[in-house]
Amino acid sequence: MDLPKTADVVIIGGGVVGCSIAYHLARRGARDVLVLERDAVGAGTTSKAAGGIRAQFPTETEIRFSLDAIRVFERFEDEFGVDPGYRKIGYLFLISESEDLRGYESRVALQQSLGVDVRIIAPSEAKALVPALHVDDLIAAVWGPDDGMAGPAEVTNAFARRARELGARIVEGVDVTGIEIQGGRATAVVTASGTVGTRVVVNAAGPAAARVGRLAGVDLPVHPRRRHIFFTEPFPEIPGPVPLTTDRASGFYFRKEMEQVLLSPGDVEDVGDDFDVAVDRAKIGETVEKAIHRLPILEKARISGGWAGLRPLTPDDHAIIGWAPGVEGFFVAVGFGGHGFQHSPTTGRVVSEWLVDGAPSMDLSLFAPDRFARGQSAAHDTGPDAE
């Protein structure tokens, strides 16, 4: 597809976030939406996600984001005509430290007050859910039976297809290399294939968000950090489905994928701005060690492959959504860390409300782009992420 000379809204990034925004904008009646993707739709960090979906978040805003997104996943096939592979396998957090448990007690109370089915259970109950678990060193677990998973590729492609059907244009293989600013306002994006004049530029560039922010002179604290996932050969000794289970002491997490077991060491590693994320095979040893401690039967398993991806982290682990300070017409929807996939349906909806109606229907101050400069960012859970 040729690059148009103008578009009302230009979205930089055709990952799950950019495609959801494009779909929701088009659905809300925005007529002239253009997504520019330097690679292919969904080829960025979205293609590395484990597909996990949970309502177990530490803040009211994020819990509401999740509950809204879960409603979309539940009726995804009706809305998009595609089976996203959504299954409520549950999320299980394994706790060995009393301080960690105290943090969970208040977060679980908040989640329950918002209607989430979540409870603190005994180690023996966790073992009843996943009999292969070693639980002797645990003091508790947290169980959310309504949490689950779906396929990131299916969901992203469904957003992209419906966006196109509603009139949005998505052009792949186009790298945005500049953002023109005139009189403090973003007026165009620059690419090797030409310049596109616009009224609104949306930064949905995932782990490249800080780099794209710099094109407009905006500093965004989005730090790409590498995380690995390995998988075993078919391993019927742990029958599925099993909940997405996170060992809070080590960061290790696992779930079943068909007959295989997915295993992540829960690593958080600065590998620079290199967006071709190589697998570090040395991580296999660390993963296997953490895995065998928690699931001794895995000693019999063989690792048959794996991948690594970048999680776009922010200093307080909350996303950054809103108008960028200092440049009019430059909107950001970035920094989603390990939860950008699951929050993409709600992100698309609230961003479209903001851009079309002038304001989102939810209080999004948690995600305010200027919170870091104002010294008002606060991490609400400093333990390892589930994804």
Ligand X SMILES: Cc1cc2nc3c(=O)[nH]c(=O)nc-3n(C[C@H](O)[C@H](O)[C@H](O)COP(=O)(O)OP(=O)(O)OC[C@H]3O[C@@H](n4cnc5c(N)ncnc54)[C@H](O)[C@@H]3O)c2cc1C
Closest distance to ligand X from the beta carbon of 186 (Å): 14
Which position among 90, 206, 266, 384 is part of the footprint of ligand X (CB under 6 A)?
A: 206
The reply to whether 229 sits near ligand X by the rule CB under 6 A is yes
The reply to whether 369 sits near ligand X by the rule CB under 6 A is no
Closest distance to ligand X from the beta carbon of 335 (Å): 8
Q: Are 312 and 223 in contact (CB under 8 A)?
A: yes
The reply to whether 340 sits near ligand X by the rule CB under 6 A is yes
Q: Are 45 and 312 in contact (CB under 8 A)?
A: yes
Closest CA to 34 of 10, 16, 14: 10
Closest distance to ligand X from the beta carbon of 77 (Å): 19
Closest distance to ligand X from the beta carbon of 268 (Å): 10
Which position among 73, 254, 336, 367 is part of the footprint of ligand X (CB under 6 A)?
A: 336
CA distances from 96 to 55, 118, 245 (A): 22, 18, 14
Number of residues that bind ligand X (CB under 6 A): 40
What residues form DSSP beta bridges with 12? 36, 203
The reply to whether 123 sits near ligand X by the rule CB under 6 A is no
Which position among 79, 125, 175, 269 is part of the footprint of ligand X (CB under 6 A)?
A: 175
Judged by CB under 6 A, the stretch of 15-23, 93-101, 289-297, 349-357 that binds ligand X is 15-23
**Closest CB to ligand X among residues 266, 329:** 266
Judged by CB under 6 A, the stretch of 14-22, 81-89, 122-130, 373-381 that binds ligand X is 14-22
Dig out the tokens for 224 from the structure.
């790409």
Q: How many CB atoms lie within 10 A of CB 259?
A: 13
Dig out the tokens for 38 from the structure.
């330097």
The reply to whether 169 sits near ligand X by the rule CB under 6 A is no
The reply to whether 16 sits near ligand X by the rule CB under 6 A is yes
**Closest CB to ligand X among residues 39, 68:** 39
Rg (CA), the chain: 21
Which position among 90, 309, 329, 383 is part of the footprint of ligand X (CB under 6 A)?
A: 309
| Integer Cα distance of 46 and 180 in angstroms | 28
Contact characters 126-155, ligand X, x per CB under 6 A: ------------------------------
Which position among 10, 18, 58, 148 is part of the footprint of ligand X (CB under 6 A)?
A: 18
Report residue 43: phi and psi, to 5°: -85, -10
| Integer Cα distance of 288 and 138 in angstroms | 19
The reply to whether 243 sits near ligand X by the rule CB under 6 A is no
By CB neighbour count within 10 A (0-12 exposed, 13-18 middle, 19+ buried), where does 7 fall?
buried
Which position among 25, 170, 205, 366 is part of the footprint of ligand X (CB under 6 A)?
A: 205
| Integer Cα distance of 228 and 81 in angstroms | 32
Q: Are 150 and 85 in contact (CB under 8 A)?
A: yes
Q: Are 138 and 126 in contact (CB under 8 A)?
A: yes
Contact characters 36-55, ligand X, x per CB under 6 A: xxxx---xxxx-xxxxx---
Closest distance to ligand X from the beta carbon of 204 (Å): 6
**Nearest-10 crossing angle of helices 60-74, 344-352:** 100
Closest distance to ligand X from the beta carbon of 102 (Å): 26
| Integer Cα distance of 84 and 148 in angstroms | 12
| Integer Cα distance of 256 and 242 in angstroms | 6
Return residues touching ligand X (CB under 6 A). 12-18, 36-39, 43-46, 48-52, 175-176, 204-208, 212, 227, 229, 309-311, 336, 338-342, 387
